[in-house]
Amino acid sequence: MRFSDLMSLPFDERSGDIDVKAIQSCLPEVPLSVAVQVYSEHGRKPAFQTQYGSLTISKINWQLLKVPASELVAASSQFEGHVQNVSTRAVSIGTSGWNCLDPRPDVVAHWREHRTWLVPPILTNPSLLIGHGALWLMEGHTRIGTLKGLLNEGYVSPDSLHQAWIGSALKG
């Protein structure tokens, strides 16, 4: 199944989100978090269809891994400007407190207490996208930007580990 095939699945007319149960029926091995964050919420978006339409998503092995912060913030992305903008928020922690990171109190509390995100972002390794030598960030740009800012400001160390979904090509 290709990413473009998601367009044929049932979806919510109001939100545009593709039905998660339909995704799970077609791709039973895909973790729920990936199905929701990438396939359901972004599967019908033109930018994602342009970028990932030809990607054979049924041949992706998804693993929840602990990845060093330095590797995560070095990931390439279609929205690198957004990642960079979000990263600048951490500069204000010393004067404004942690609330400068995000408007959602639960997200802020989790970053402050655990120095990581609530929900792991979705990345792929270079084996899936030719032309990219590093991890590629599919979803979680605000999370990676926040991590980058906290790393730049010394609130997390480069070798700190953070959970992330990493997709790689299935063998065989």
Give residue-wise pLDDT tens across range 80-107.
999 999 999 999 999 999 999 999 999 9
* pLDDT tens readout for residues 7-45: 999 999 999 999 999 999 999 999 999 999 999 999 999
* pLDDT tens readout for residues 123-146: 998 777 765 568 999 999 999 999
CA 105 to chain centre: 20
- Three-state DSSP class for residue 138: strand
Of the given ranges (18-22, 109-113, 155-159, 167-171), which has the lowest mean pLDDT? 167-171
Alpha carbon distance 142, 73 (integer Å): 11
Q: What is the pLDDT of residue 28?
A: 96
Give how many domains the chain has, as a whole number: 2
Domain assignment of residue 26, given as a range: 3-55
Do 113 and 152 share a domain, yes or no? yes
Cβ–Cβ under 8 Å, residues 77 and 140: no
Report residue 157: phi and psi, to 5°: -95, 155
Q: Which residues contact 44 (CB under 8 A, 6 or more apart)?
A: 6, 7, 11, 16, 17, 18
**What number is the average pLDDT over the span 98-120?**
97
Do 122 and 144 share a domain, yes or no? yes
